[in-house]
Each structure stands twice: as C-alpha cells, then as structure tokens.
Amino acid sequence: MKRLVLAVALMLAPLAPAHAVQPDEILADAGLEARARAISRDLRCPTCQGESIDDSHAPISRDLRLVVRERLVAGDTDAEVFAYIVDRFGEFVLFNPPVRGANWVLWLAGPGVLLVGLGGSFVYVRRRGVPVAMAELSEAETARLREVMKD
C-alpha cells in the first residue's frame, strides 16, 4: 500500500505548483503576502520570459519579488506596484498588457489569424469540387458494386 501511495504521489508531483518564493521573502502579514503573490503571478520573469516571477528561480525574479513586497509594505496600491515595475522594465513584464497603442496588434493577432485560417479552409472546401462519394456511378461501376455486395 505504501508503494502505491508513493507511486501516485510521484506521478502527481509535476502537476503541483512550483513556487520559487523562499521562506525569507514571505511577509508576516497574510493579507499583504496574498497581494504580493497575486501581483507576482501577473509579472513575467525578464530572464525566463515564460514564467511568472512567482514561479521563476532566476535571481532577477527574486529581486522583483522583494521589490513588490517592499512597495506593498510601503503602502503602495497594486496599481502603483505595477506602475513602479513597468516604469523600470516596460510593459514586457506584464503577462496581460493593457489594450492600447501598439498592444492592439498583440491582442488582435490571434483572433485575426484564426479568422484567416477559417476563411482559407472555407475557400478550400468550396473549390475542391464534388466529393467522390457524391459522384454518379457509371453502369459498369453500378453492376460491379452489386456483384461485390452479393458476396
């Protein structure tokens, strides 16, 4: 039974969230720590680029986590913390950049490519012609089909 429990635990281990937050970074105030975690999940690691600073083990992510916590302890709102980080690193660090200016291209590119693909698929299907299954059979083909079906 112990082996079964161990095997299940090992199979499920990769599915568990792997937060990189170290014990010395955690704030004593649970409310501020929850806000810090929420902010950290929305900030991209400048080094890893595919991970949030909450999940990244890169030194820059640790520094950013500490800065986020310092700003919250100083009394900044969430918006002020985001503004502080964006002023230093640009909108690149935001996983969900605001929809304005050049970011419109990012927000519209996905749906645009989807629509172009759907349109291309529609045109391809329309130009393909009559499917073979829908074509009329000749007399010889009909006779051969009847012979095959009898067997």
Of the residues 75, 93, 111, the one at which a domain ends: 93
pLDDT digits (tens, 9 = 90+) for 89-139: 888 888 887 777 777 787 788 899 999 999 999 988 888 765 556 568 888
Query: Is the residue at 60 inside a domain?
Result: yes
pLDDT digits (tens, 9 = 90+) for 33-60: 888 888 888 899 888 878 888 888 888 8
Separation of alpha carbons 151 and 146, rounded Å: 9
Query: Is the residue at 98 inside a domain?
Result: no
Domain that holds residue 123: 103-150
Of the residues 71, 93, 115, the one at which a domain ends: 93
Q: How many domains does the chain divide into? A: 2
Beta bridge partners of 17: none
SS3 state at 102: coil
Looking at the fold, whether 48 and 120 belong to one and the same domain comes out as no
